[in-house]
Structure 1
Amino acid sequence: MNRLTRLEIWLVFALVFVLTLAIGLRGWLLEAQVNWDGLAAVAHAYDVFHAEPNANLAMIGFVQPPLPALLQLPVVLIFPALAESGLAANLLGAVCAGIAVALLLGLAADCGLGRVLRWPLVTLFALHPLVLGPAACGAPMALLTVLLMGAAWALLRWSREETLRDLIAASLVLAGALITRYEAAFIVVGALIYLAWRIRRGGGSWSKLEGTMITFALPIVYVAGIWIIANRAIMGDAWYFLRGTYEGARAAGIDEMLNTVVAVSLVAFFPVLALVYNQMRGAGRHPAPARPVAWLVLTALLAPIVFPYVFSGLADDGLWSGLLTPIAMIITGGFAMVAAMLGNFLQGKRSHVPPQGTVFMVVGSLAVAIWLLMQGLGIPGPLTRAYYGRGPLADTAASEIAAAELLVQTDLPPDRQHLVVGWPGFAVTLFAGRTGEMSVIRTGDLPQFVDTIWEGSRVVLLVGRREGGVSEAEVEAGLGLPQPLNLVQEWRAGPWVCYRVVGALQ
């Protein structure tokens, strides 16, 4: 039976939502697992309402892409306890996982797959460690997965009927992807190139090409323009978000990036290279059911190789961590291509590409992917940790939770400046519920705040751990405080140390 019912959609959403949230809660409650980017989005949204006496949307942050934080605004306003516990990130991740799977279900039904085939397909997608894992820990990659799945479905529909509705839908979701991960701009460019190629190849006029490109690009340009203008108006630099993103970034060579892209793509979805080959072969001569999606996936694969600095600059845990957008596109696009190609086969439509080459590539890719997994290459493993709420994008926040528990009991005089110095200091103040009482700054910005620290101030420092922490020598030197001010330790939780500023050494 091919017909998709509302009950089926809601059922798959509910099942995936409950499963993802349960795994996320397991990771959080038993092992304090979080995703720092997802938690930072919650903290930014919380700052909007609690960092100052009046709500201030400028507190949303101007380095991280804004959409994850904007989506958290209603949650932290109505249920601030969800933000202070960090569970707001897990909740959004579970919602995104449910929507992504529901979109794939609709895509599969639209391609002609019956329940016998589409339910196993969406089950494999929902249980994929790089779909379930990021969603369970609340990573923004879960939101990106939803948007890219929506783009794949919209472009597949547009390629068949060329309706204005599908064109605008693809534009809107890709605009959202752009403000979820900035490097999604390359996928937008890939979609533009595909649209232009498709119209000209189909004999469309130049006026049709112009109208299509303007209609598709307008929402994306509008969203990007608003974000650039906001940076200029509030931060004084239209490109502040890019400078902040790539500050201190390292560059990777083309060879290194090529090896990483191939390894990551095979580990994430081993048939992807074979599927792209199958759908792109003979592009100038024959149609293919999943070609628009293959075009997006090909763009996601080539972009890091052609522009290695852009993606290596996003890496914070190995080069693979800068490839989250390509990974999301590979997985969503891979499953979308499988659905479209299966549907085409079931409808009795003949493929113009001989299957031998594709089958050979699939078998070879599977062998290489198994070897990569056994060697621990590509993506840190084992990926099965995602089923316990501690996948490759999760990290422990045990030290931050312990520091927050002590900070709750710490006296903070209201007439003094109080600081949390180091990353992720935002988590300490968020968990403690003391966002409006303390300023969270980077270690490099500490000299600018030294003159604001008086006797009675509290300074919570990240000492001797992670890049960007304060060294023991700097603490012993008094952080450059003017005499006779000195630091006296009040408590310590792992690397987080709270000091009270006193007028004389005690």
Structure 2
Amino acid sequence: MTKRRTALELLVVGLSAFVANAIMAYLVVFRLNLFLTDAMARTRSAWQVFFSGEPKLANVGFVWAPLPTLLQLPFVLIPPLRYKGLSGNLVTVLAGAASAMLVALFLRRTKLPALLRWLMVAAFVLNPMVIFYSSNGMSEMVVILFVLAATYLYIRWHETGLWTYLAGAGAATGAAFLARYDALFVAVALTMAIGLEALVRRPDRPRFSESSVLMFGAPVAYIVALWIASNWAIMGDPLFFARSIYSNAGQIGYQLTIYTNLVPLKGNLVARRMALAGSAGYRVVSDSVLGGERICRAVGPVSALLHHGHPHGVRAGRRHPSAIRSMANSSGSCLACRPGCLRLQFGPGDAPAHRMGAVE
């Protein structure tokens, strides 16, 4: 009875989150005409796997972490989901719903009252940043899904000691790396936690700690090695994704031509943080210089939506100066003025190739 009740609760949570995310995706795509260039670039790559002049899996590309693009491959074969890049939105809708189910699983293990659990799950699903990234086609919710899965499986290993949970946590962490490269920090953190816990649990058997770390780390290392080998075999550079002209390294060089005063800080993480902390543009500059994927690009548009309603320029889907100024002011940063926040609007008669190509 308990298992059936748990399954029913998870089903209700998943369906409810899916509906909420789908409604938000409709608003983002068809009402706000908001298309983030990172998301559209991944969708275009998935489209090119089947419909380009040279259809091949390598068209997924070797700069973006490949998993969000790979997850779109079944959906781009469905014509309605190629319209306005909806395949990417659907992937994030599903990832957001699955993440909500994992949050419900976490909370169920706390033995909290049912009403409080439901309220906390609702707070997660309806959090403005969560529901926005569960609908916009970006990679954030995919990596959150696999980080949550890895954490849940780690907790189950902590409770039961079963090796299967440890191997599953490693596989989930490897999948998180394929969604965003910075998930390697999660791998490092979990490796340290697992090693220390195993050492405390069996202090007289150091091999137990070693085998625990290997059981978790082997899937992660295998997945990372496969990605590096693919870059090496096809692009001729094992670290093409990290240091090519299209990678984060190339983006750092471009940003340094704009923020020339940051050149002396390049390579000094502590100096960067100390110099930039407290500056108005800290978030955008830090995100650029440190080589991140600019995960907060859309803070400006979201803040403008929450606090100022729908400016005319935003609804029209154009680079309307007053709308962008409103977004920048409401968010307290320069993020809204960056390319990832600009709107692209396509007519219903545009061919898919034109729609996908417009984002470059």
2:92 corresponds in structure 1 to 93
Instruction: Map 1:384-399 onto structure 2 (within 5 A).
Output: 385=305, 395-398=341-344
Note if contact 2:147-2:172 (Cα within 8 Å) is conserved in structure 1.
yes
1:151 corresponds in structure 2 to 150
User: Deviations 1:36-84 (Å, cap 9, x if unpaired)?
Assistant: 222222111111111135x31111110000000111111112x044124
Note if contact 2:35-2:344 (Cα within 8 Å) is conserved in structure 1.
no
Within 2, Cα distance between the matches of 1:177 and 1:206?
Answer: 29
Q: Secondary structure at the match of 1:238?
A: coil
1:254 aligns with 2:270: yes
The structure whose residues are more often strand, as a share, is 1
CA drift of 1:316 comes to: 4.5
Instruction: Map 1:165-180 onto structure 2 (within 5 A).
Output: 165-180=164-179
User: Deviations 1:81-130 (Å, cap 9, x if unpaired)?
Assistant: 41242111111111111100011111111232231221111111111122
1:314 aligns with 2:317: no
Within 2, Cα distance between the matches of 1:110 and 1:210?
Answer: 29
Instruction: Map 1:228-267 onto structure 2 (within 5 A).
Output: 228-243=228-243, 244-249=247-252, 250=256, 251=266, 254=270, 256-257=272-273
Note if contact 2:88-2:137 (Cα within 8 Å) is conserved in structure 1.
yes
Q: Secondary structure at the match of 2:48?
A: helix
The one-letter code matched in structure 1 to 2:98 is I
In structure 1, list runs of 5 or more residues that go unmatched: 268-307, 325-378, 409-427, 443-506
Within 1, Cα distance between the matches of 2:123 and 2:183?
Answer: 25
Within 2, Cα distance between the matches of 1:259 and 1:169?
Answer: 41
Distance 1:165 1:232, change over 3 A: same
Q: Secondary structure at the match of 2:250?
A: coil
The one-letter code matched in structure 2 to 1:228 is I
1:431 aligns with 2:358: no
Note if contact 1:2-1:113 (Cα within 8 Å) is conserved in structure 2.
no
Distance 1:430 1:191, change over 3 A: farther
Distance 1:258 1:97, change over 3 A: farther
Note if contact 1:100-1:146 (Cα within 8 Å) is conserved in structure 2.
yes
2:66 corresponds in structure 1 to 66
Within 1, Cα distance between the matches of 2:224 and 2:156?
Answer: 25
CA drift of 1:310 comes to: 9.2
Within 2, Cα distance between the matches of 1:203 and 1:157?
Answer: 18
Within 2, Cα distance between the matches of 1:13 and 1:64?
Answer: 28
Within 2, Cα distance between the matches of 1:92 and 1:181?
Answer: 15
The structure whose residues are more often helix, as a share, is 2
2:20 corresponds in structure 1 to 19
1:217 corresponds in structure 2 to 217
CA drift of 1:32 comes to: 1.1
In structure 2, list runs of 5 or more residues that go unmatched: 257-265, 315-326, 328-334
1:187 corresponds in structure 2 to 186
CA drift of 1:5 comes to: 2.5
Within 2, Cα distance between the matches of 1:201 and 1:45?
Answer: 46
1:459 corresponds in structure 2 to none
User: Deviations 1:335-362 (Å, cap 9, x if unpaired)?
Assistant: xxxxxxxxxxxxxxxxxxxxxxxxxxxx
1:8 corresponds in structure 2 to 9
CA drift of 1:441 comes to: 11
The one-letter code matched in structure 2 to 1:10 is L
The one-letter code matched in structure 2 to 1:145 is I
Note if contact 1:84-1:430 (Cα within 8 Å) is conserved in structure 2.
no
The one-letter code matched in structure 2 to 1:113 is L
CA RMSD of aligned residues (A): 3.5
Q: Secondary structure at the match of 2:111?
A: coil
Q: Give the paired residue count.
A: 311
1:207 corresponds in structure 2 to 207
CA drift of 1:217 comes to: 1.0
CA drift of 1:14 comes to: 0.9
Within 2, Cα distance between the matches of 1:314 and 1:211?
Answer: 33
The one-letter code matched in structure 1 to 2:249 is Y
- Range with greater deviation from structure 2 (244-253 or 101-110): 244-253
Q: TM-score, normalised by structure 2?
A: 0.76
Compare CA radii of gyration and give the structure with the larger one.
Answer: 1
Instruction: Map 1:77-476 onto structure 2 (within 5 A).
Output: 77=77, 79-204=78-203, 205-243=205-243, 244-249=247-252, 250=256, 251=266, 254=270, 256-257=272-273, 312-314=290-292, 316=294, 380=300, 383=303, 385=305, 395-398=341-344, 401=346, 429-431=353-355
The one-letter code matched in structure 2 to 1:254 is V
Q: TM-score, normalised by structure 1?
A: 0.55
Report the identity percentage: 23
Within 1, Cα distance between the matches of 2:216 and 2:272?
Answer: 35
The one-letter code matched in structure 1 to 2:46 is A
